[in-house]
Every structure is written in structure tokens, then in C-alpha cells.
Chains A and B, each alone.
Chain A
Amino acid sequence: MKILVCIKQVPDMESHFRPNGSATWFDESDLAFRMNEYDEYAVEEAVKLKEQLGGEPEITVLSIGPDRVIEAIKKALAIGCDRAVHINESAVASKEPWQIASIIAAYARSIQFDLVFTGMQSQDRGSAQVGVLVAELLGIPSTTTLVGFAYADGVVTATRELEGGVKGKVRLKTPALVTCQLGLNSPRYPTLPNIMKARKKEITTFQAGDLSSEPPLTGSSSFRHPEKKGSGVVLEGSVDELVEKVIVILKDKTAVLR
């Protein structure tokens, strides 16, 4: 069995974001990058499935981006993926979902994976499109927003998270693609011995342009801080001063403190 896990490297969401020169996206300098949170669940689920099947499946982890993404790839290898594909694209920030999906599909088509795992969305762009687009381009069934996953004999039984705590159960035959939601499992931390072992795992590099040259279907502009709508106040200072001020405000503005 061949499994593909697609991961993205995103900035730490606690960073201070500034627009790039053309305000199409953020300026990358000074940002610390890490694996997209949703993808951590995708990696973990693939590794759990490999364990369930006695180690038989081979897991390929794929990431598109400049050299910095190799760090996220190495983490996935240390968690238990077997080999990696780095699709080099220095202008990854200007690639929109259709282009990213076309690149992944161009690579995946040649291998014929039985199962593809992706995060349901990225933390930075949040389009929730790439996984489903890859499945559509490959012509395989897919389902999204998994909070439960089971596999037996070529059949995936997926639990989708719907709104308000309701879930939906779906069955689909492989080859298939699933997108993973937060809370699907408990992602493990890579251990030191596994980090060492991962160093020997193979990373194959492709150039994005050799796989697909689809033009973008959308353009991006005016990347900005949202206009402040509320009339809220921002308080800064020493903890003691802050506590005093907050108590005065709560007494004045709410009926909960007398």
C-alpha cells in the first residue's frame, strides 16, 4: 500500500505580519515557520495506519516551497513517514490553491497512491480547497473534515465533523483522499532516536515548474491588518496597574461586580 501525506509549512500565527512589497501576501523575513497544525494530524493518522497494518504501507510525505520547508519534511520523517518529496518552488506564496493542487496531482498521478492524507486547510491561507482539488484532479473519491478514521481491506470509514457537535459517517473505497481536522488524533512528538534515523531517509527534489505550469485562477491584493471596528480599549502596563484598571472598568461597565 502506498500512502501520500501532503504538508505545508506556515508561519507561527503569533507572529507580527507585515505586507510584502506588492501587498499580495506577507513579508517572509523575520518569520518563524512550522508545520501547518492541520497537517500534523494528517501525518499522525498516516503513521498510525502504517502501524495498524504491521508496517507494510510506505508513506511518502510531500511539501511544496523553498528550502525552508525541508525542516517540516524532516519532522514528518522523524514522526514515521518513510520517504519525502520536496517540490521546490521559491514563489510558493504567490501560488493559489488551483496551482498547488495541480502540482501535487501531477506528481501523485505518476505513483498511484492508495490513500492521500492532507490537512483540511492551512492556518495562513485557510482556503480548505487543496485536498479536494487534488482528489478531483486525480479522479478519486474524497471526503473532508475528519475527526475519525478507520481503514480495513481497501475501505475507509470516516467520521466528518459537521456543525454544532453533529458528525456524519461516510464510507469510501480506496484509492481515496481524506482531509484531517483538528482533534482527529493526538500527534506524537518526534523522539531523538527517530530524529537521528530520519536523517538517513531519502528526500527527492522536483522543480514545481517541471510538474505543472497552470496559470493562477485568482489574484491577491491589499494584504492588511483588518480595520478596527470595535470601540474596545487596549490596556498595557504593570500587572498591578492593569488589575486595578480592569476592576474599575468592570464595576463601571458591567453589572457583574458590585
Chain B
Amino acid sequence: MKLLLVGEYREGRLLDTSAELFGFAAAIGGDASIFLVGSAEDVPAFSGALYLVDAGLYGEYNPEVHKQLLLKAVEEVNPDLIVFIHSSYGWDLAPRVAASLKVAQVSEVIGFADNAYEVGCCNAKMHRNVTPSTSKAVITIQAGAFPALQSEGTPLVKVLSTDVASTTEFLGYEPAEAKDVNLAKAEIVVSAGRGIGKKENIEVIRSLAKAFGGELGASRPVVDAGWIDHGHQVGSTGQTVAPKLYVACGISGSIQHLAGMKKSGFILAINKDKDAPIGEVADVLVVADVLQFVPALTAKLS
């Protein structure tokens, strides 16, 4: 199998997730080439062909132009599989390439067997297998699903360029907002999810956090609804935490939330749904109504 891996740069640096592309390539086997819109200053060790585009010329986000350049690499490599990370760069570019080639795309792959790719669905509650019916295919792999692997060797660098016009103008990055709460340092984090029902109930969860002597965290819908500010958000677009104890109150356990807390020492989840995917990572899943169980636990602790 011939693979074309698509790595990512942010502000001139190759992102660490690229190592997961190498991990995936090693797991599935085959000849890998890599395509990068980045900088010659920071290319990975690699023992295959490396199609390099100077991000200084075209920008790190410029989807129409990146697509055309990637299609040039596809023409040279003639890959069976084009592999992206399922990230804001990957899910934006992958469908463009799949549409141009009119080939199957499988999104957010977590495993594979024969010609089928395993993916999550229904907010990670269920899994299914997706089989491309085209001879080539595009996939995006879930961040964290495959082990990061440092590759070795000296790549054979081929520089690509194009005169295709941009259809979007990249104006620049906005840095992450300063965090007013440092969850990463806390030994205990007690987080509120949408299951708490309404803003006022944040206090119920805050009381438990206090009783434990821990910090208050939250899932994204709680932040989006304005129940608490973004500094408390745990997950791929919030903070990553690994406390000794993480308590998830009314949190379903989406991939993006798990990305921010699954390395916690001990995970206690309270959910009325026995099937909630948080059960996959929880050491203890208490099947109960948070608004009944949490106050009772708080009372016992205080």
C-alpha cells in the first residue's frame, strides 16, 4: 500500500501530531511519502519522499492553494491512501481533496481491519466500520488514536509550487486567551456537564469541588451556554488536565472532552445514562441523577 501523509505546521513549527501519522503508517504498513506546507527549517526525520511547500509563500491556511499543491503530490506518488489528522486543518482540507479526486473519505478513524476503517458515531457512543469503495481513499485519523512515532532517516525533499489563485485570505492567528484558572495544577478537578441542567446548578458542582478541596472544571456546552467562563473548560479546545481525581458530573464523554482528561489518575463519573461513553474511561461510573447524588456526596464529605 502506498500512503501519502499530510502533516501540519503552526507558526513555522511542525506540529507534534505529525508523529501520529508515522505511527499510523507503521501500524498499517506500506510505503509512505509526506506532504507538508511548512518550512525547510523544521522538517521531520523521514526516510521517504517529502513534498515540501514553502508556507512563507502560500500561508499555513490557504485551502484552495493547499489542495492544488497536494493534488500535484498525489499525481507523483499515486497513493492508495491519503492520510490527514482529524484537526481543524485536516477536516478542512481532506474533503476538498476527496472531492477533486472523487474518492471516498472516512473521517476520524480510530482503527482498521482489512479494507475497513473503524470510526465512532453518535457522539462516541457507538462504533461502526466504513469501507471505501473507490480504489484510492482519503482518511483523517483521530488525534491520539495511533501512537506517536519518531521516524528516522533523511527525506528526499521535493519542492512544489503553484500559481493557482487563493480564494481565502488568511489574516493571522489569535493567541489563546489567558487562563484565569489553572486546572492543570489541581490535584482534584470536579467538572460540570450539560447534564446539570441549568446555570444555577453550577453551585451544586462548585460545592462538591470545595468539599474535595479541588478546582471546578466544565465541559464545552456549559461554557458555550455562558454558565461559566472558558477558563474552566476541559478538552481539546480547553485545558488538558491529569489530576489525581477527576469527577465528571453529567458529562457524556465525547472524544474532545476525553482528550482533556483521560490521563487523570482516577476518574469518577456520575451519569444517569449507563451507556454514556464516559464509562469507557471511568474507574467508577455512578448511575444516578447528578442533582441527587452530588449534594449527598458533598454532605458526606463536609
Q: Could you list which residues of chain A lie within 8 angstroms of chain B, going by C-beta atoms?
A: 11, 13-14, 16-17, 23-26, 97-98, 101, 120-121, 123-129, 132-133, 136-137, 141-145, 157, 159-173, 182-183, 186, 216-226, 228-236, 239-240, 242-243, 246-247, 249-250, 253-257
Tell me what chain B mostly uses at the interface: helix, strand, loop, or mixed: mixed
Tell me the dominant secondary structure on chain A's binding face: mixed
- Determine the distance from Cα of A179 to Cα of B61 in the docked complex, in whole angstroms: 16
B residues in contact with A250, CB < 8 Å: 245, 266, 268
Give Cα A236 to B286, complex, Å. Answer: 6
Q: B88–A145 contact, CB under 8 A?
A: yes
Q: Number of B interface residues, CB 8 Å?
A: 91
Using A132-B95, A223-B126 as known contacts, say yes or no to A239 and B121 having CB atoms under 8 A apart: no
A136 touches B128 (CB 8 A): no
CB distance from B95 to the nearest CB of A (A): 4
Chain B residues with CB under 8 A of A143? 63, 92, 168
B244 within 8 A of A: yes
Among B92, B116, B120, B282, residue most surrounded by chain A Cβ atoms (within 10 Å): B92
Q: List, sorted by A's number, 25 A–B pairs whose CB atoms are closer than 8 Å.
A: A98-B105, A126-B119, A129-B107, A144-B92, A159-B174, A162-B10, A163-B236, A168-B88, A168-B172, A169-B170, A217-B134, A218-B130, A218-B132, A219-B130, A223-B126, A224-B128, A225-B127, A232-B284, A240-B296, A242-B288, A246-B268, A246-B284, A247-B297, A254-B265, A256-B244
B-side interface residues toward A, CB under 8 Å?
Answer: 10, 61, 63-64, 86-89, 91-92, 94-96, 98-100, 102-108, 116, 119-134, 167-177, 187-188, 212, 220-221, 223-226, 230, 236-238, 244-245, 252, 265-268, 273-275, 277, 279-288, 292-293, 296-297, 300-301
Q: Which residue of chain B has its CB nearest to the CB of A221?
A: B129
Q: Which of A167, A232, A236 has the most CB of B within 10 A?
A: A232
Q: Is the CB of A218 within 8 A of B238?
A: no
Min CB distance A129 to B, Å, is 4
